[in-house]
Structure 1
Amino acid sequence: MDLKERQLPLVEAVSRPKGTYLWIAFFFPSLSRRQNRIAAVISLAVLFGTNLNIGPLDAVGSANRFIAAIAVPPSESLVLFLELAFILLIARCLIGALSKKQSLDLPCLFLSVFFAFAMVFGKACESFGDPWAVFDGFLGTAVTVISAVSFACLGYMGFAFLFSLADKTASNVGSREAIDTGRTRNRILFLFESHPVLAPSCVLGVAWLPLLIAFFPGLFAPGDTLNQISQLFGLPEATSASIVLIDQNVTLNAHHPVVHTLLMGGSVLLGQNVFGSCSIGYFLYIVGQYLATIATIGYGINFLKQCHVPRRIRIGLLLFVALFPWFPEYALLGTKDTLFACSLLLLSISLFRIGSKTYEMTKKNWAILVISLLGFCLLKKGYVVFALIIMVLAFLKTSSMSRRAVICTFMGPIAISILLSNVLFPALSITSGSSREMISIPAQQVARCVNTFGDEITLAQRDAIDKVFDYETMQDKYNPLLSDPVKNTFNKFATPDDIKTFFSVWRQLLAEHTGTCLAATMMNYYGYFYPTEANPYNYNLETSRESIENVSSIAPFYDFQHTDSIFTAIASKSFALYQALWDNAPLLSLFTQGSTYIWALLLLVGYHARKKHRSGVLLALLPTLLVLCITLIGPCNFIVRYTFPIAFVVPFFAALLWRRDDRSTTVNTRR
């Protein structure tokens, strides 16, 4: 395979030796003295620019402000030397590639520009509460521009290096390890290979079992869990109070997915009527969700085996899933996001099979696609539109022989979702959700304008705003990181004309105070692309108990309670400390950042966009990209619950980078 066909973006070894020598040539290409000097200059410039202190500087005079901009604590000097060595390693690869007249890698270029934007404005939002604070006079603006260019260069070199490393890894998988051939000597590994779904599922089931027992009957998400259950019981709760119900006696509504509410609330009702205990009923739901989660992960591990991903990568992924606290936390939490994450992974795997010419779809695979589509459409409001988009692209991607199967498979779940939402639910007086969710971004932008330019708001504009949202709340309780305080004041009796007038005022403010409106949006979402220090909000036994205690108005109707045993106390304290360890320990804390998984997703898309024969991965990642788009219009700057489905899918497709690239053979995945 020649260089043009491989499309290596930047790094290409001088020679093609075998084994260790190939990797030495990859990391340390032979360069001339002049090229080494250029690499050193680039590395120093990037190091200097990325460590500038951007934003308002506490200094008087241009000279003092310049010194303040470049100041670095002496304790960080050694770390900067190590950073310089790493940047120099990548820069040498870049210079070696450019000397061979390779063109710029467009996906890397686009990603690097966005990376610079995220780093500069993310730091401004995190440190100063205003993304425009970094443009503080001429010197401050110059420092910001230099920093942005440096981050763009660093991003381009780093992303191109990772892409080249992935190319090298994929091209040498077969030479490093035989792919699942022969009988392994180790009995445990033999079980892992011979039972690729059951074995990983059992490992996770055993690893998380102490938490399942200790957290009986399961974890409650503050607000959402008991709100959903209360809807089915017809009890007062926040979501039904925020909308105009079709029938005041039917509190069940579509603010939360109705199917999930029926599933979780129905389990509680079953436990109450059959076992005389709401806790047992809720535990039945949690056990079902627990089993669904570990079975889905087991299916994902088996998918990697069928794609000839080396055993050590699959075992490494399994250990990560078993040890990373997000997975058991959400497996035991009563929230729609867990089952939706399972549906998203199953859908992504099915789309990969459809989009790839190497793996054929069996009857079992088509059945799993139907199940995943039902979960995708019914566990999130409005996702049926995304299902239609995915269907069209899958139809265009697949062969003519399979197009009928694609249409038939997709249309069933889509039709069911449409009929439920538009026919059955209204007939049963189940009210649709509030329209306030669709105007979260305009509401937050108006609130920031009200707080910043309150004296300039006319009486007519104030009246128009007050008919849809509480104007006083916008002034007193505006939170730049969270739109809920403003959004929750939405007037459910606002008429279409009132909302139309509100949008007219919003457009006026957007035109007059464009920077302020953009700042409101960046402050609300920068944490999805920048490693923020904001509390990710972990769910554990302590938060679950608080959730139960905070519903005192409906507490007499339920008997939910966690056990008070020594084992429960030890497990609760240990798990909370374990979560804190992952949130704060060096390196580990990167995995508890939503931005880590979002950037991994973007890098996977950029990498596979360069490789036409891997377009099946692009189709597979499309649902996750659509989930990301919806996440970016949510109410919170960063919360784990919104990024968990993305974090659930991305590791499996990252592991595909190690798969054997054998496009000449069609693999029958029938078992």
Structure 2
Amino acid sequence: MKKKVVIFFIVLSLSLSIQKPVINAIEYNSIDSQFLALIYHFLANFTNSIKYSPLSILLLSFGVYFIMNKTKSLKITSTSLIQKILSLFLAVMTLIGSVYASNIESITIAFAGIVQLTKSGIIMTGWFFIFEISQLFLTTIIKTGIPNIKQPTFLKSIISRYQKKPFTTATIVLTIMWLPLLILNYPGIIMGDSLQQITQFFGFVPLRSDNPILSTVFISAFVKLGQFLGSANFGIFLHSIVQSAILVLSLAFSLKLIQRFGKSESFTFYMTFLLGFLPIISGLINVATKDLLFSASFLVFIVSLAIYLHDQNYFWKHRTYLITIGSILIGILLRKNSLYVAILSLLVVLVSALLRRSVKNYRIVLIVMGSISLAVVMDNALVKLAGANNETLRRESLSVVFQQTARYAHYYDEEITLAEKETINKVLDYDKIKNVYNPRISDPVKATHLESASSQEMKDYLNLWFKQFKNHPLVYLEATLNQNYSFFYLEKNPNVYYLFLTDAYRRNTPIRIQYYEDLGFKENKQVKDFQLVKKYYYQLFDKLPVLSQLNNVAFYIILLMMIMVFSIQKKKNKTLVLLIPLIALFLSLLAGPVVTGYVRYLIPFVMCGPLVFAFSIWENRQPSP
């Protein structure tokens, strides 16, 4: 009976739309009986909310039934309290995500009347069961190990070779997979931030340190080399080759360790193809961006930390700490928010060292602390050497606050007095933020910030911000939820892909077209035609079952969260330490200007997910202290 109830809720939750359908008003108003009118309204609303055909629902039911039958063979039959809390949280976030993904302005629609409340309850219940079942499967795998899949005969010898030399094999496989993409997408893709860095380097606009100087020099040096060789396009192509090679080596380094931790004959083999195949990774290898190299350095840092947690003697004997130092230096020199990630990681290691009172733990603390300090000194030296403007833009740290004000102005303009509008105007362009407010990205809003606003003007603004929060707290909550719901939403893939060399073009900034011409970048029509085809290949990929979920960053974030709560419950402290940098990165992105669709910020979770998963399996095999 319980299994049938679970299947019912899961199937119905996946079949319902949270949107409020239009009811036939003429029919509704023609019903004299209030009771019958109520039943009519309920049934019409509920019926029109079913988004799949009867055949699709039937097939979905068979699929859910098949999965439920598989749970019989699991050694774990129930989840812990903390796992249930996570399932509930994820179910609530799925409901919220279904609202915003449907382009509905507010989550209040989920509670607008008895029918909407019923649908919301069904959706949350169904997804609660989905996440509960997922955690049962995950817990079983962590405790029993990755099951070996029966391999076709022709693959057995290949997998056997892979097991012997995982680093070399992974490097060769990824290179073979990506090299054709690099050539077909010649010369590469320039997005907005990259063009800004290149134009600053070449003196078209003043050089600033908002984008770290090292990343500006790295990208621009290839453009300079290309110009020297007679083609700026060729310079961007060389940049794509080099950054792809760095990413390949970083992934191969990680896969080698996954092979050691996972103890599976084929898991690492298939994982190599998956990481090479996913558009959220392969679609970025041609993009001139600091974020790809940052992701590679972040992955290498996590790998070195995993080695330290796995075998400290090996870590010191083989000087793996040099990799730790290098990855911290490069990460901080490539992206500003990585400094906070490193500092939080340092604090955790410091607390661990104090608790264990181990000399070796103190050594790692000194290494991390020294690496952070050296990176900051080097970054400051590069800024001075380049003569860059090092003034901190206040808008970068107030993205969340400004976005909340913009949403308030957008929906409650009539409640804001002239005096309050004047207070906001001294910090933000009120009329503009009211109209340009975009729930997914805060860049248009924070772009109106007056950096010249005085301390008193900022104080008055923040006092007003707090006052408005007390008036309509839900507006502030929704401003943040709407911008970040995609972290936890599996039903719709929000990925946005860069496609063309000219992706940095903007309609409202025609000067960018002139920058392309002055720098010598020229778009190839045949390549552009191929990229148009690639665009719909990516979009098709994001709509296919299973593949779409594997290409969704939310899948890996949810996986990491499930591993985290399992580790908390079982007191698997090493896995928790390994998760700290990922948690810090996640928190820094929550405070950022944009997440939804911008996979270049999020691929560290995708690349680190398999490693953390394999490490968790390894730690669970170790005898309790």
Asked if structure 2 preserves the Cα contact closer than 8 Å seen for 1:441 and 1:521, the reply is yes
Alignment of 1:34-49 (within 5 A): 37-45=1-9, 47-48=11-12
Among 402, 423, 431, the residue aligned to 2:390: 431
- TM-score, structure 1 normalization: 0.80
Deviation string for 1:241-285 (max 9, x for gaps)? xxxxxxxxxx2212212221121123323443x434433333333
Q: Following TM superposition, by how much is the alpha carbon of 1:632 offset from its aligned partner in structure 2, in angstroms? A: 1.8
User: What secondary structure is seen at the aligned counterpart in 2 of 1:494?
Assistant: coil
Partner of 1:294: 248
Alpha-carbon distance in structure 2 between the residues aligned to 1:401 and 1:371? 22
Q: Which amino acid aligns with 1:268?
A: V
Q: Secondary structure at the match of 1:474?
A: helix
CA contact (8 A) 1:120 1:144 kept: yes
The answer to whether the 8 Å contact 2:409/2:434 transfers is yes
Contact 1:52–1:143, Cα closer than 8 Å, also in 2: yes
Q: How far apart, in 1, do the equivalents of 2:177 and 2:155 lie?
A: 24
C-alpha separation in 1, matches of 2:224 and 2:478: 46
C-alpha RMSD of the superposition: 3.3
Match of 2:128 in 1: 152
Q: 2:598 aligned to 628, 639, 643, which one?
A: 639
The residue number in structure 2 matching 1:561 is 522
Q: 1:648 to 1:474 in 2, by over 3 A?
A: same
Partner of 1:491: 450
8 Å Cα contact 1:55-1:144 kept in structure 2: no
Counterpart for residue 30 of structure 1: none
Q: State the identity as a percent.
A: 24
Q: Which residue does 1:246 correspond to in 2?
A: none
Q: Cα–Cα, structure 1 residues 275 and 51, in superposed 2: closer, same or farther, change >3 Å?
A: closer
Which of the residues 135, 159, 167 maps onto 2:143? 167
- Structure 1 residue 470, shift from structure 2 partner: 1.1
- CA contact 2:45–2:115 (8 Å) conserved in 1: no
Q: Which amino acid aligns with 2:92?
A: F
Contact kept, 8 Å, 2:261 with 2:614, in 1: the verdict is no
Alignment match of 1:333 (pick from 283, 287, 300): 287
Q: Which amino acid aligns with 1:228?
A: Q
Q: Aligned ranges for residues 195-214 of structure 1 at < 5 Å?
A: 195-214=165-184
Report if aligned partners of 1:286, 1:333 keep a CA contact under 8 Å in 2: yes
The alignment covers a number of residue pairs equal to: 597
Residue matched to 1:579: 538
Aligned pair 1:79/2:59, yes or no?
yes
Query: 1:351 is matched with which residue?
Result: 305
| Aligned partners of 2:504 and 2:512 also within 8 Å | no
Cα distance in 2, alignment partners of residues 363 and 472 from structure 1: 60
Other-structure match for 1:248: none
Does 2:266 align with 1:312?
Answer: yes
3-state SS, counterpart of residue 107 of structure 1 = helix
Unaligned 5+ segments in structure 1 are 1-36, 178-183, 237-250, 666-671
Q: Which residue pairs with 2:69 in the alignment?
A: 89
Distance 2:218 2:133 in 1: 49
Query: Which residue of structure 2 lines up, in the alignment, with residue 13 of structure 1?
Result: none
- Correspondence for 1:592 among 526, 529, 551: 551
Deviations 1:140-186 (A, max 9, x none): 3354345434433443343234322432335x77xx99xxxxxx997
Cα 1:436–1:467 change in 2 (3 A) is: same
CA deviation after TM superposition for structure 1 residue 46, in Å: 5.3
Of the three residues 376, 395, 409, the one matched with 1:418 is: 376
| AA at the equivalent of 1:314 | T
Task: Output the CA distance in 2 between the equivalents of 1:550 and 1:651.
Answer: 43
Q: Deviations over 1:285-315 (max 9, x none)?
A: 3222121011111111211233353231111
Per-residue deviation, 1:516: 1.9
Q: Which residue of 2 aligns with 1:506?
A: 465
2:493–2:552 CA contact under 8 A, matched in 1? no
Q: Helix, strand or coil for the counterpart of 1:360?
A: helix
What's the TM-score once normalised by structure 2's chain length?
0.86
In structure 2, the CA distance between the partners of 1:48 and 1:412, relative to structure 1 (3 Å rule), is: same
Aligned to 1:624: 582
- Indicate how the Cα distance of structure 1 residues 424 and 224 shifts in structure 2: closer, same or farther if over 3 A, else same: closer
Distance in 1 (alpha carbons) for counterparts of 2:407 and 2:177: 47
Change (3 A) 1:593 1:308: closer
Q: SS at 1:82's partner residue?
A: helix
Deviation, structure 1 residue 199: 2.4
Please say if residues 355 and 615 of structure 1, whose CA atoms lie closer than 8 Å, have aligned partners that are also in contact: no
